Structure 1
Amino acid sequence: MVTDGIRKEIERLVSLHGYDAGHLEQFAEFVLAQKKPKAKAKTTPKKPKKVPALKLSEVKEAVYKYFAVSNTDELKESGEFQLATRDMELNFSKKDSWEKLYRDFVGILPNEVGETGEDCINGINIFKYFKPWQVFGLDGTTATEEQIKSAYRQLSKVYHPDNPQTGNAKVFDRINQMYRSINPNTFK
């Protein structure tokens, strides 16, 4: 018998991912009909290890490698770097500036992989990273226009400001920015 709690979870999954409610309810009934396993000895679940933040020297080295330079002076002189960062306000004595460079050009900082929270979708903090393909859960090399639209619609339903349970105007605007950046027909 499907409980109210399970029905609420099915509703959440339907609104979040667009799954078919009927199929989820059938699956829930199937699982509940199975014989309950014997109770195992209680074990304390292991907490995932928190990955330490990179040291400033490690962040700098990764940025140097990305721009094919060996130190900060060479980085500042690099035409490629100047072009890529011309609108950025950077302070090379602050770790925050180096981390911003890492996020924008190298990748996701190891201690920020799989983040959770109000501003996170698919493990990505959408205000620290502009990673549309990962946020939409798509492969940028193989995703079709229809898959892009579908992923966008699903996220839009969840974060639209008119959604009383999960609406968030700030997140919705960011999703729209990401959608416009990867959808080839947005500006037609």
Structure 2
Amino acid sequence: MASAIETKVQELVAQHGYDAQILLDFVEFIQSQPKPRKNTQKPSNKKSTTKAKTSKKDLTVNELQAAVAAAFNCADVKALKKQEAFKLATDGRELNLRTREAWLILYREWVGVPENERHEEGPNCINGIDVLKNFRPWHVFGLNSKTATADDINSAFRKLAKQYHPDLGGDRLVFEQLQKMRDSILAFR
């Protein structure tokens, strides 16, 4: 291995005129670093770039279905699909209720943020919540729904706007979601 490294260093010196000692020092630095532990988890198909701090387990389809059914005061999925309020809530939407993703969307809307998504980090995350997946304005703004005033809501929004506004380097989708959150909670004040 050492001879392969030395050969590559000599090749880089000849091709690019790099200093051989600097390259050898860099190799030594890299080799002195602790090796990362291998990830034993199966790769996920998540499209989001966020990651959870904790490794809570994902809810099963049955758990998601039971929670959504309970949110609509139904005993099971069969009764849920017959209920008018559920039909109204899902009418006109392209939800394939045979998939886990559809039930996860309904869970986020009607039950809450799944435990394994509560402490996420990433460019779309505010206060541990991915705002593009979960619509939780009170948590994102860090306010109490019972005591916050319209001024508190606007102040929290302005503070976040300074960080997430597209003109200041923020993501347009995140900023638009923050505006929707602000507007939705101000509408009920």
TM-score normalised by length of structure 1:
0.68
Structure 1 residues 102 and 148: CA distance shift in structure 2, 3 A:
same
Within the candidate set 84, 92, 100, 1:95 is matched to 100
Indicate whether 1:154 and 2:146 are aligned.
no
Structure 1 residues 102 and 184: CA distance shift in structure 2, 3 A:
closer
Given that residues 66 and 77 in structure 2 are in contact (C-alpha distance below 8 angstroms), is that contact kept between their aligned partners in structure 1?
A: no
Partner of 1:13: none
Residue 54 (structure 1) shift: 0.9
Residue 72 (structure 1) shift: 2.2
Residue 168 (structure 1) shift: 1.8
Residue 185 (structure 1) shift: 9.1
Partner of 1:163: 168
Question: Matched residues in 1 for 2:96 and 2:142: separation?
Answer: 33
Partner of 1:32: none
Return 5+ residue gaps in structure 2 as ranges: 1-52
- When the two chains are superposed, the root-mean-square deviation of aligned CA atoms in Å is 1.8
Q: Which amino acid aligns with 1:71?
A: D
Question: Matched residues in 1 for 2:76 and 2:106: separation?
Answer: 14
Once the two structures are overlaid, the 10-residue window that deviates more, 176-185 or 104-113, is: 176-185
Larger Rg: 2
TM-score normalised by length of structure 2:
0.68
* Aligned residue-pair number: 137
Given that residues 54 and 119 in structure 2 are in contact (C-alpha distance below 8 angstroms), is that contact kept between their aligned partners in structure 1?
A: no
Residue 88 (structure 1) shift: 2.5
Q: Which amino acid aligns with 1:158?
A: Q
Question: Matched residues in 2 for 1:129 and 1:64: separation?
Answer: 19
Given that residues 145 and 184 in structure 1 are in contact (C-alpha distance below 8 angstroms), is that contact kept between their aligned partners in structure 2?
A: no
Return 5+ residue gaps in structure 1 as ranges: 1-47
Given that residues 152 and 175 in structure 1 are in contact (C-alpha distance below 8 angstroms), is that contact kept between their aligned partners in structure 2?
A: yes
Indicate whether 1:55 and 2:35 are aligned.
no
Structure 1 residues 75 and 185: CA distance shift in structure 2, 3 A:
closer
Within the candidate set 75, 79, 90, 2:84 is matched to 79
Deviations 1:48-96 (A, max 9, x none): 6410101111111111111122222211110111122224222111000
Residue 140 (structure 1) shift: 1.1
Indicate whether 1:132 and 2:128 are aligned.
no
Structure 1 residues 91 and 182: CA distance shift in structure 2, 3 A:
same
Partner of 2:12: none
